[in-house]
Amino acid sequence: MKGREVIVVGGGISGLWAALRLAESGHRVLLFSLFEVMRSHSASAQGGINAVLDIKGQRDSIFQHVQDTIKGGAYLANQPPVKALCEAAPGLLHTFERMGVMFSRTAEGLLDQRLFSGVRHQRTCFAGTSTGQQLLYSLDQQVRRLEAEKRIEKYEWWEFLAIVKSPQGRCCGIVAMNLRSLEVRPFRADAVVLATGGIGQLYAPHTTCSTSATGAAASRVYQQGAQFANAEFFQFHPSAMLGHDKTRLMSEAVRGEGGRVWVPRQARDRRTASAIPESDRFYFLEEWYPRYGNNVPRDLAARAIWKVTRMLGLGVGGGDRVYLDITHLDATMVEQRLGSLLTLYRKFSGIDPLSQPMEIFPAAHYSMGGLWIDYEKDASGSLVMGSPRNHATNIPGLYACGECDYAYHGANRLGANSLLSAAFSGRITGEAAAAYLSGLMQGHESLGDQPFEAEVRYQNQINHHFIHAGGDQNPYRMHRELGELMTTNVGVVRDNGPLDSSIVQLYDLEQRFARLHLAEGHPWANQTLAYARQVLDMVKLAQVVAVSARNRDECRGAHYKPAFDLEPPPHAYPGDAAYDSYRKRWQTNNTRWLKTTIAEYHPEGPRIHYEPVDTSMVAPSEPRDYR
Amino acid sequence: MTEKTPPDDELNLNKPVAPPPELVDHLDDEQREPEWLTEATERPPETPHIDHYDDEDDPDRWQESEDTAELAANEDESAPEHPWSQAEHDAAEVVQLKIRRQDDPFSTPYWQLFDIPSHERDNVLSLLRTLREHPITGSGERVDPVAFEHQCMEEVCGSCAMLINGRPRMACSALIADLEQPIVLEPLPKFPLVRDLMVDRSRLFEHLKRVQAWIHVDGAWDIHQPGLRIAQQQWARDYLYSRCMHCGCCMAACPQYDEHLDFVGPATLAQVRLMNAHPNGRATRSTRLHAIMGDGGLSDCGNAQNCVKVCPKEIPLTTAIGELGRATTVQLIKDFFGSSEP
Ligand SMILES: Cc1cc2nc3c(=O)[nH]c(=O)nc-3n(C[C@H](O)[C@H](O)[C@H](O)COP(=O)(O)OP(=O)(O)OC[C@H]3O[C@@H](n4cnc5c(N)ncnc54)[C@H](O)[C@@H]3O)c2cc1C
Ligand code: SF4
Ligand code: SF4
Ligand code: FES
């Protein structure tokens, strides 16, 4: 087979997997990243990666993993991709093991597994407390080997700006900008894989995400016609440290290992944590959800903390903070299993969590929504592996995988499932794109230079305009405004009034780019230029999030609108009449709202339509109940 | 009790859903394509979605409204620049940064002083982030924002290494409270400068190629069997090295490492140590050992121990170098006797 050119944009776990599989299929891979790929956001993942290995004698099963993922996601994920994901997980883990990932071990030398929230089986493999870093590095090493063999060519310090389409609408390459020389250049390819990660920076600084998680790349292809799905589903991690430059994540592994969340029962209790006796402590997660306790899924935990602080006014010192306590645990065990988390907390807060409880609050963490992608279902209800339809966006030749797709987590993601989906989706996207390439009769050679040159000219004009716009709007300040707006109005709790006003404000924010003041005209390594461009595309994407949220009048997973809440009646359980009528209402609501939101670009704002969800494996008959 | 997926028509499949009425009003009363996009820029017509950009004839095309014209007119160009709001100044302690700047690889470096309001528990990186918003020197001169690298802000990506008060370390974990002022910031030495505090660390990755710091797997596919077992004790030793984030601090501190010298540096050697210990990596152990036995390898280390003192991840670099010393000696003997076994 004659290899073709293929571009992978993004060097996180997902992009690197895709690049590996494409190179292994004999294609020439051009790998783009904003910086050296090993700096990607994937490195920040601490907690772990899920796979059913059942080494703890708990009778864990793949079906249980599928079910947990689907129910955790409030049934919103199409089930065939989820099934394929869970089936492939053990094999993926073993592949990572072969590539040299230093997974933590049991005394027998086997892969150790820990408990993560939202499930009742120990299913999470981990490499100390730096799992994402280890997974990323193992792939980085494999890619470097192929790079040394000239099968992959890296373009680090290049920013993806746009795809280039043929007159028939096929994706035939990209235009990218060198972040040092600011050169804007076309790159031809027969397929493009986008693996550009999440969008947490829309909520900055109230986010656990790295600075590159802007969603700008996804926004750019969205503005070029790619559909964006389920944008309203954004996960707020319940436990982030307090901070005004960034709210650093305190992994839920802390709760998995026995950490307890509490506030003083008395509002504005002035005593220090250690001086408050057990009887005066409100372990609200354990009281409200006795079955799962501190390990309830993230959305429930984040809202519970929101409720305790914002509605009951019980936040520590009356503020936006609650305690995450590990002082009762065995110090040696904690140090061994959570060592680097404790170091992180000590480093950035100056407090030792072994002697004093940590202080945490929810922060923007993970986008379940993302670019819409297709899949091909097989007879068993799983995916047809190697089908060119898997992970294809609605633009032919353009693929998406990793956090920037929408496929696996429905309305809410379970902990440790996204490293898995990033790896799995990268692998099958590489295979899908390879299949697409071998099916192509004609490559980009048949296309003249004109569309490439025209796109380069367009992008250069934007640069020119940004550098010379002589207004008064500072891009850094606009970004902060965006973050505040999104956090307050499109955050943990949503109401239609504030959503409407934020949509208006987002349009105004976009308009203000006409009065941009870059304050930097330097032609070399001009960081403000790249940044300002990203902020504009973030504003465009924020509009998608806000409009999608405005249109969905229900509560599902991470999308919570109290005005439409359907809570199970207190003290009623399956079998009680009150519960049965609640279940009925829940099912009626599903008939109306169990559907995928799809946003399409329109200059006047996103256009929304809906698509049914494939629930062929686990039918949505029972509401989720973690009490 | 199972539930069927609702019929398509109920789900409005592929039918646009009308935005809520409040929104429609708002959408209709003005065109929102920013002026700079419609006028200054034209996306190539081949891409069909952009018809709005170049539709010059559209009477509704967004024009500079009176509002914006007025705003522009009201803008007082001569107003003095106030770097910080009064509130910000009052709330915080002012910290002095002295930064070595260089506009590009070929120009001459120069120093600038900045006074930056700082909050409790600020770090060097958060101050640099504050500064890029108000790039004004202590003497009130507006300058280009300082270029620097960062990603994770939690000391795991390895981006933000620089010299802080003369010591190579990560800016994101350098707490202001622990530093003497003025805080002197310089780019990481030993690497080619890009701009200001940014350097080009691509050498690090070339070194990794040179020593083949990878495990040679046949392919990234599933081979339907688990990996080899690793005892907890071995894991505990090896894990330490797997956390190297290739920040370059140890290289910056090492007297033997330099842009113009051959030495692959301590972090690279530690990776050899790591790969050689892994049950799958053992097979190609001798290749890696040979790679560090010649020029630029192990023998270039002068045992100055600087590296291990500055590593932010506390990686026992000199232990690794010691172990490799023994391993290469054994390898030499094997080579001498022509043993084919790795
Ligand atoms: C603090 C934190 C902890 C987490 N912990 C866990 C965990 O324990 N378990 C778990 O399962 N998940 C966890 N997650 C989620 C998980 O880390 C991410 O979802 C996952 O790593 C995403 O991988 P990715 O490959 O999709 O993207 P990323 O790793 O974000 O990579 C994105 C890549 O795209 C490139 N890129 C972006 N834009 C452009 C552009 N315009 N041009 C060129 N290149 C571009 C970047 O350079 C980068 O290489 C965590 C997330 C956070 C924030
Ligand atoms: S060994 Fe330490 S100092 Fe050296 S590159 Fe690795 S993490 Fe940085
Ligand atoms: S011990 Fe070797 S590698 Fe480390 S600083 Fe000294 S000379 Fe460099
Ligand atoms: S910003 Fe990632 S290490 Fe400092």
What ligand is nearest to the CA atom of residue B321? 3
Provide the chain A residues 416-445 that lie in CB contact (below 8 A) with chain B: 427
Q: Which two tokens stand for residue A171?
A: 């994706």
Ligand 2 pocket check for B244: Cβ under 6 Å: yes
A:B CB pairs within 8 Å: 315
Rounded Cα gap, residues A606 and A589, in angstroms: 24
Q: A12 alpha carbon to ligand 1 midpoint, in Å?
A: 6
Ligand 3 pocket check for B266: Cβ under 6 Å: yes
| Nearest CA-CA distance, residue B85 and chain A, Å | 13
What ligand is nearest to the CA atom of residue A31? 1
Q: Which two tokens stand for residue A200?
A: 């947490």
Q: What are phi and psi of A470, to 5 degrees?
A: -105, 60
Rounded Cα gap, residues A351 and A357, in angstroms: 9
Query: In terms of Cα–Cα distance, which of B16, B301, B132 is closest to A479?
Result: B132
Residues of CATH 3.10.20.30 domain(s) within chain B? 86-199
Provide the chain A residues 547-586 that lie in CB contact (below 8 A) with chain B: 547, 550-551
Residues of chain A predicted below pLDDT 70: 1, 118
Instruction: Please provide the CATH number assigned to the domain covering B202-215+231-337.
Output: 1.10.1060.10
Ligand 2 pocket check for B160: Cβ under 6 Å: no
Rounded Cα gap, residues B330 and A166, in angstroms: 60
Angle CA B36–B135–A363, to nearest 5: 80
Spans of all domains in chain A:
238-362, 451-580
Q: Write out chain B residues lying below 8 Å of A620, CB-based.
A: 3
Interface predicted TM-score of the whole assembly (ipTM), two decimals: 0.93
CA torsion A157→A160→A164→A169, rounded to 10°?
140
Query: In terms of Cα–Cα distance, which of A618, A213, A594 is closest to A404?
Result: A213
Q: Looking at the domain A451-580, which fold is it?
A: Methane Monooxygenase Hydroxylase; Chain G, domain 1 (1.20.58)
Q: What are phi and psi of A110, to 5 degrees?
A: -90, 170
The strands making up A228-229's β-sheet, listed across from edge to edge, are A370-371, A228-229, A595-600, A607-612
Atom of ligand 3 nearest to the CA of B253: 5
Atom of ligand 3 nearest to the CA of B250: 5
- With CB atoms and an 8 Å threshold, state whether A515 touches B155: no
Among the partner-chain residues A95, A225, A500, the one whose CB lies closest to the CB of B22 is A500
- Whether B180 and B203 have beta carbons less than 8 Å apart is answered as no
Instruction: Flag whether residue A228 sits within 8 Å of chain B, measured between CB atoms.
Output: no
Region of A100 (left: φ > 0; alpha: ψ -120 to 50; beta: rest) is left
Q: B190 alpha carbon to ligand 2 midpoint, in Å?
A: 14
Catalytic residues of A: 298
Give the chain A residue nearest B147 (alpha carbons). Answer: A527
Instruction: Please provide the CATH number assigned to the domain covering A238-362.
Output: 3.90.700.10
What ligand is nearest to the CA atom of residue B249? 2
Q: What are phi and psi of B91, to 5 degrees?
A: -70, -25
Longest dimension (CA), chain B: 89
Ligand 2 pocket check for B249: Cβ under 6 Å: yes
Classify each residue of A473-493 as buried b or exposed e, where b means 16 or more C-beta atoms within 10 Å of its C-beta.
bbbbebbebbbebbbebbbbb
Give residue B28's pLDDT.
Answer: 34
Give the chain A residue nearest B20 (alpha carbons). Answer: A551
3-class DSSP string for A203-251 = HCCCECCCCCCCCHHHHHHHHCCCCEECCCCEEEEEEEECCCCCCCECC
- With CB atoms and an 8 Å threshold, state whether A142 touches B20: no
Instruction: Flag whether residue B143 sits within 8 Å of chain A, measured between CB atoms.
Output: no
Among the partner-chain residues B133, B242, B246, the one whose CB lies closest to the CB of A134 is B242
- With CB atoms and an 8 Å threshold, state whether B47 touches A165: yes
Q: Which two tokens stand for residue B164?
A: 């802080």
Residue A293, CB-side half-sphere exposure with 13 Å CA sphere: 13
Q: Which of A604, A615, A621, A622 to mutate to test the interface with B (most CBs of B within 10 A)?
A: A604
Ligand 2 pocket check for B267: Cβ under 6 Å: yes
Distant-in-sequence, close-in-space partners of B283: CB < 8 Å, separation ≥ 6: B216, B342
Q: A156 alpha carbon to ligand 3 midpoint, in Å?
A: 29
What residues are paired with A226 via a beta bridge? none
Q: Tell me, what DSSP letter sits at residue A308?
A: I
Q: Which two tokens stand for residue B90?
A: 């009052």
What residues are paired with A171 via a beta bridge? A165
Give residue A469's pLDDT.
Answer: 85
Q: Which two tokens stand for residue B283?
A: 């097979």
Provide the chain B residues 54-93 that lie in CB contact (below 8 A) with chain A: 68, 71-72, 75
Q: Which two tokens stand for residue A70?
A: 């689907």
- With CB atoms and an 8 Å threshold, state whether B13 touches A610: yes
Q: Which two tokens stand for residue B60?
A: 């509704």
Please identify, in words, the CATH class of the domain defined by B86-199. alpha beta
Tens of pLDDT along chain B (342 residues) come to: 344 443 333 333 333 333 333 333 333 333 334 444 544 455 654 433 323 323 334 333 333 333 333 333 333 433 334 445 555 555 578 999 999 999 999 999 999 999 999 988 899 999 999 999 999 999 999 999 999 999 999 999 999 999 999 999 999 999 999 999 999 999 999 999 999 999 999 999 999 999 999 999 999 999 999 999 999 999 999 999 999 999 999 999 999 999 999 999 999 999 999 999 999 999 999 999 999 999 999 999 988 899 999 999 999 999 999 999 999 999 999 998 876 554
Rounded Cα gap, residues B68 and A541, in angstroms: 24
Give the chain B residue nearest A590 (alpha carbons). Answer: B6
Digit-coded pLDDT (tens) for A339-389: 878 888 988 888 899 999 999 999 999 999 999 999 999 999 999 999 999
Q: Tell me, what DSSP letter sits at residue A414?
A: P
Digit-coded pLDDT (tens) for A603-613: 999 999 999 99
Ligand 1 pocket check for A402: Cβ under 6 Å: yes
Rounded Cα gap, residues B241 and B230, in angstroms: 15
Return the amino acid letter for B41. Answer: T
Q: Which of B128, B153, B188, B198, when mutated, tests ligand 4's pocket best, judged by the most ligand atoms within 8 Å of its CB? A: B153
The string of DSSP codes covering A88-116 is: HHHHHHHHHHHTT----B-TTSSBPEEE-
Give residue B85's pLDDT.
Answer: 54
Query: In terms of Cα–Cα distance, which of A495, A544, A613 is closest to A228?
Result: A544
Give residue A99's pLDDT.
Answer: 97
